[in-house]
Amino acid sequence: MEQEATVWSRICGPLEAAIGRDAFTAWIAPLRFRSAENGVAQFGVPTTFFGNWVERNYRDIIVGLMTSEGVPVDRLSFDIIGNARPAPVPAALSNGYGAPAPQPQPTPVQRHAPALSRAPEQAAPPPAAAAAPEPELPGSPLDPRYNFDNFVVGKPNELAHAAARRVAEGGPVSFNPLFLYGGVGLGKTHLMHAIALEYQRQFPGKKVLYLSAEHFMYKFVQSLRFKDTLSFKQIFRSVDVLMVDDVQFISGKGSTQEEFFHTFNALVEQRKQVVISADRAPGEIDGLEDRIRSRLQWGLVVDVHPTDYELRLGILQSKAETHFAAQPDVQLASGVIEFLAHRISSNVRILEGALTRLFAFAGLVGRRIDLDMVQECLADTLRASDRKVTIDEIIRKVAEHYNLKINDLLSARRARSVARPRQIAMFLAKSLTSKSLPEIGRRFGGRDHTTVIHALRKIEELRQTDSGLAEDIELLRRMLEA
């Protein structure tokens, strides 16, 4: 049984790589592995619907992976966990994929899949001799791998990490909310999960609720639909720590914003900790009401900066160790880690994915991971990374091309000879980088995002009628991407 549980734990990495993180978090992480006997892999699931979904969508891949790891199964079977708390992850299998634990302990964080309601006929029978059931917290699943031990700290994220640690320690609330923001795949969600897991470990009696802003909206809309807003409010206002991920999602969503605002205020008034994450600073989230924006700025706003080379190196080394634990036979040539850290700088998720692919490939073909394999296996990722262009480069190239000074492009001058190249540069910044409109505006001499929108429209229009300008843009684009 131990061996099967280890196998389940081991295949979760490739399974996540195969189906994507979101699907994994929603459908696989909540599964509680029970056994694999007589060709049947048995799992605990929150609802019948959940089991049916996993069966329909992921049976083949689960069966295939388990069988290839030496635990032959051809069927999945499910029992309902219902209100019973899922077993925690055993320390020995701390990959955290729901293998059974020797000593199940209650956990106040709910790990049901998001956006799924439990139909009445699917509700689990109450556990024998049940105490009064606690109200169900509508949280998103926590990934036990996203803990502080696995989080590599470097200059770009040290403040975010220190603030997250402080919140996780509990004690008097010193900054409320903690607002973490930064670009894609830089570790915000990882830190949020780490806070929740650590807080929950230290204060098992307290209620920590972690969920995405999308899930918050879903729950709110559901409560409106079922005319049950009172219990929605009660549940959300009864927690000790509320953590909402990707809060930019609720911008422009009128009544959800409103409800979020009230929930937020109620908790802060009770001196309960709130932790928020977003892809940009509160001041840059369009469509957010001013009062919410200013509330979000009350506490500590921390930028998770893009990684630098040292941090990427540290992260790759740490992730490689995890892979070696699962695949001790794989060999890694020197220079590979450094090469990846140097070449893939966009986000940690892509970096991680690259390493996972290399280990999977090496495991399949039985070869050492060297630079040849990197080129062979990661050609697409490396090409995509090569194309990364910065706004500074764009400004420099455009200024050079039109024989202007960089300061001219950033200045307030409105003469067409300056304004048009500036608009072209903004247009290129939008199409060649992933920067937001406010960020682009800021980089062009602190302009408002509406100026950027105007520039984009103007250039789009002119490209249709002015072939000289269209050619200029094409030429600049090619030079920048070269």
Residues in contact with ligand ATP by the rule CB under 6 A: 146, 150-152, 157, 182, 184-190, 279, 315, 348-349, 352
Q: Rounded to the nearest whole angstrom, what is the least distance from the CB of residue 188 to ligand ATP in the complex? A: 3
The residue whose two tokens read 């956990």 is 107
The residue among 296 and 418 lying less far from ligand ATP, judged by its C-beta, is: 296
Q: Rounded to the nearest whole angstrom, what is the least distance from the CB of residue 480 to ligand ATP in the complex? A: 25
Q: Rounded to the nearest whole angstrom, what is the least distance from the CB of residue 283 to ligand ATP in the complex? A: 18
Tokens describing residue 124: 């689990």
**Rounded CA separation 246/472 (Å):** 38
Tokens describing residue 401: 């091309």
**Rounded CA separation 277/261 (Å):** 15
Other beta carbons within 10 angstroms of residue 383's beta carbon come to 9
Q: Rounded to the nearest whole angstrom, what is the least distance from the CB of residue 213 to ligand ATP in the complex? A: 11
Total residues belonging to the chain: 482
**Rounded CA separation 438/206 (Å):** 39
Name the residue number minimizing CB distance to ligand ATP: 187
The residue among 154 and 445 lying less far from ligand ATP, judged by its C-beta, is: 154
**Rounded CA separation 147/411 (Å):** 46
**Spatial CA neighbour of 304 closest among 108, 195, 96, 159:** 159
Q: Rounded to the nearest whole angstrom, what is the least distance from the CB of residue 161 to ligand ATP in the complex? A: 8
- 154 annotated ligand-binding residue: no
Q: Rounded to the nearest whole angstrom, what is the least distance from the CB of residue 371 to ligand ATP in the complex? A: 23
| C-alpha triplet 34, 56, 141: angle, nearest 5° | 55
The residue among 73 and 351 lying less far from ligand ATP, judged by its C-beta, is: 351
**Rounded CA separation 131/138 (Å):** 20
Tokens describing residue 465: 């009628």
- 433 annotated ligand-binding residue: no
**Spatial CA neighbour of 156 closest among 185, 199, 193:** 185
Q: Tell me the three state secondary structure of residue 424.
A: helix
Q: Rounded to the nearest whole angstrom, what is the least distance from the CB of residue 160 to ligand ATP in the complex? A: 9
In sequence order, the 6+-apart residues with CB closer than 8 A to the CB of 385 are 343, 344, 345, 346, 350
Report the half-sphere exposure of 231 (CA within 13 A, side-chain side). 12
**Spatial CA neighbour of 210 closest among 292, 277, 279, 117:** 277
Q: Tell me the three state secondary structure of residue 1.
A: coil
- 188 annotated ligand-binding residue: yes
**Rounded CA separation 329/192 (Å):** 34
- How many helices (H) and strands (E) are present in the chain, helices listed first? 20, 8
Kind plus residue range of the DSSP H or E element containing 36: strand 32-37
The residue among 315 and 399 lying less far from ligand ATP, judged by its C-beta, is: 315
Q: Rounded to the nearest whole angstrom, what is the least distance from the CB of residue 341 to ligand ATP in the complex? A: 13
- 187 annotated ligand-binding residue: yes
The residue whose two tokens read 């399949």 is 364
Q: Rounded to the nearest whole angstrom, what is the least distance from the CB of residue 182 to ligand ATP in the complex? A: 6
The residue among 178 and 394 lying less far from ligand ATP, judged by its C-beta, is: 178
Q: CA of 215: how far to CAs of 135, 298, 407, in Å?
A: 17, 24, 45
Task: Give the annotated binding-site residues for ATP.
Answer: 185, 187-189
Task: Give the annotated binding-site residues.
Answer: 185, 187-189
